[in-house]
Structure 1
Amino acid sequence: MTPADLSLTVLHAVRRAVDEGALRVEVPERVKVERARAGGIGDYASSVALGLARPSGLDARAVAAILRERLRDSPGVRSVDITGPGFLNFTLDGDSGQELVRDVLRRGEEYGHREPTGDVAQPVHRADVRAAVTADAVRRILRSQGTLVRVACEDAADPDWALLGASPEAEHARGRLATDIAPLPVPFGAAELHRRLGRDAARWGLLSAAGHDHARLGDELLQQHERNPLFLVRYAHARSRALLRNGAQLGISPGYDEPVEDATRLLALLGDHPAVLLSAARHRAPDRVARHLEAVADALLAFQHAVLPLGDEKPSAAHRSRLALAEAAGTVLAGGLSLLGISAPDQI
Structure 2
Amino acid sequence: MTPADLADAIVAAVGRAVADGDLDVTVPTTVTVERPKNPEHGDYASPVALQLAKAARRPPRAVAELLAARLAAHAEIARVDIAGPGFLNITLAGSALGEIARRVLAAGATYGHAAKPRDTRINLEFVSANPTGPVTLASARWAAVGDALARILTAAGFAVGGEYYVNDAGVQVARFGASVLAAAAGREIPAEGYHGAYVAEIAAAVQAARPDLLDLPENEALAIASSEGLSLMLTEIRSTLEGFGVHFDTWASEKALHDAGALAAAVDDLRAQGHVFDADGAVWLRTTDFGDDKDRALVKSDGAPTYFCADAAYYRDKRGRGFDQLIYLLGADHHGYVARLKAIAACFGDDPATHLDVIIGQLVTLTRGGEAVKMSKRAGTFLTLLDLVDAVGVDAARYSLVRSSLDSPLDLDLDLVTRQTSDNPVFYVQYAHARISSLLRNAESLGLAVAEPQAADVALLTHPREVDLLRALGEFPRVVETAATLRGPHRVARYLEELAGVYHRFYDACRVLPQGDEQAGPLTDARLLLVAATRVVLANGLGLLGVSAPERM
What are the ranges of 5 or more consecutive residues in structure 1 without an aligned counterpart? none
Q: Is 1:322 aligned with 2:527?
A: yes
Q: Assess, with a 3 A threshold, how the Cα gap between structure 1 residues 182 and 236 changes in structure 2: closer, same or farther.
A: same
Q: Distance in 2 between matches of 1:153 and 1:18?
A: 49
Amino acid corresponding to residue 174 of structure 1 in structure 2: D
Q: Distance in 2 between matches of 1:275 and 1:13?
A: 20
Q: How far does the alpha carbon of each residue in 1:54-78 deviate from its partner, in whole angstroms, 9 at most, with x for none? A: 3444321122223234434334233
Q: RMSD of the TM alignment (CA)? A: 2.5
1:134 corresponding residue in structure 2: 145
Aligned positions, number: 348
Superposed displacement of residue 117, structure 1: 2.4
Which of residues 211, 215, 225 is equivalent to 2:421?
225
Q: How far does the alpha carbon of each residue in 1:237-262 deviate from its partner, in whole angstroms, 9 at most, with x for none? A: 01111111111222223344222413
Amino acid corresponding to residue 96 of structure 2 in structure 1: S
Q: Distance in 1 between matches of 2:495 and 2:140?
A: 24
Superposed displacement of residue 323, structure 1: 1.8
Maintained 8 Å contact 1:161/1:168: no
Maintained 8 Å contact 2:327/2:359: no
Amino acid corresponding to residue 150 of structure 2 in structure 1: R
Superposed displacement of residue 5, structure 1: 1.2
What are the ranges of 5 or more consecutive residues in structure 2 without an aligned counterpart? 129-138, 168-233, 253-309, 316-325, 329-357, 366-382
2:352 corresponding residue in structure 1: none
Identity %: 39
Q: Distance in 2 between matches of 1:75 and 1:201?
A: 44
Range moving further from structure 2, 328-337 or 24-33? 24-33
2:311 corresponding residue in structure 1: 174
Amino acid corresponding to residue 194 of structure 1 in structure 2: V
Amino acid corresponding to residue 253 of structure 1 in structure 2: A
Q: Assess, with a 3 A threshold, how the Cα gap between structure 1 residues 318 and 197 changes in structure 2: closer, same or farther.
A: same
Q: Is 1:191 aligned with 2:394?
A: no
Q: Is 1:122 aligned with 2:123?
A: yes
Q: Distance in 1 between matches of 2:327 and 2:120?
A: 19
Could you state the TM-score of these two structures normalised by the residue count of structure 2?
0.58
Q: How far does the alpha carbon of each residue in 1:151-207 deviate from its partner, in whole angstroms, 9 at most, with x for none? A: 345664853333322235545593425632332133543222222222211111110
1:239 corresponding residue in structure 2: 435
Q: Assess, with a 3 A threshold, how the Cα gap between structure 1 residues 125 and 181 changes in structure 2: closer, same or farther.
A: farther
Q: Assess, with a 3 A threshold, how the Cα gap between structure 1 residues 171 and 346 changes in structure 2: closer, same or farther.
A: same
What is the DSSP-based 3-state SS (H/G/I as helix, E as strand, rest coil) of the residue aligned with 1:331?
A: helix
Please tell me whether Structure 1 or Structure 2 has the larger radius of gyration of its CA atoms.
2
Q: Distance in 2 between matches of 1:39 and 1:206?
A: 34
Q: Distance in 1 between matches of 2:242 and 2:33?
A: 39
Q: How far does the alpha carbon of each residue in 1:288-315 deviate from its partner, in whole angstroms, 9 at most, with x for none? A: 0000000111111222242222344332
Maintained 8 Å contact 1:125/1:182: no
Q: How far does the alpha carbon of each residue in 1:84-136 deviate from its partner, in whole angstroms, 9 at most, with x for none? A: 21111223333123211101111113211112122332334364331232111
Q: Assess, with a 3 A threshold, how the Cα gap between structure 1 residues 65 and 97 changes in structure 2: closer, same or farther.
A: closer
Q: Distance in 1 between matches of 2:166 and 2:29?
A: 34
Amino acid corresponding to residue 286 of structure 1 in structure 2: P
What is the DSSP-based 3-state SS (H/G/I as helix, E as strand, rest coil) of the residue aligned with 2:360?
A: coil
What is the DSSP-based 3-state SS (H/G/I as helix, E as strand, rest coil) of the residue aligned with 2:464?
A: coil
Maintained 8 Å contact 1:123/1:181: no
2:461 corresponding residue in structure 1: 259
Range moving further from structure 2, 230-239 or 147-156? 147-156
Q: Distance in 1 between matches of 2:483 and 2:66?
A: 31
Q: Distance in 2 between matches of 1:242 and 1:202?
A: 25
Q: Assess, with a 3 A threshold, how the Cα gap between structure 1 residues 314 and 213 changes in structure 2: closer, same or farther.
A: same
1:164 corresponding residue in structure 2: 244
Superposed displacement of residue 225, structure 1: 1.1
Q: Assess, with a 3 A threshold, how the Cα gap between structure 1 residues 329 and 216 changes in structure 2: closer, same or farther.
A: farther
Amino acid corresponding to residue 482 of structure 2 in structure 1: S
1:91 corresponding residue in structure 2: 91
Maintained 8 Å contact 1:226/1:232: yes
Superposed displacement of residue 82, structure 1: 1.9
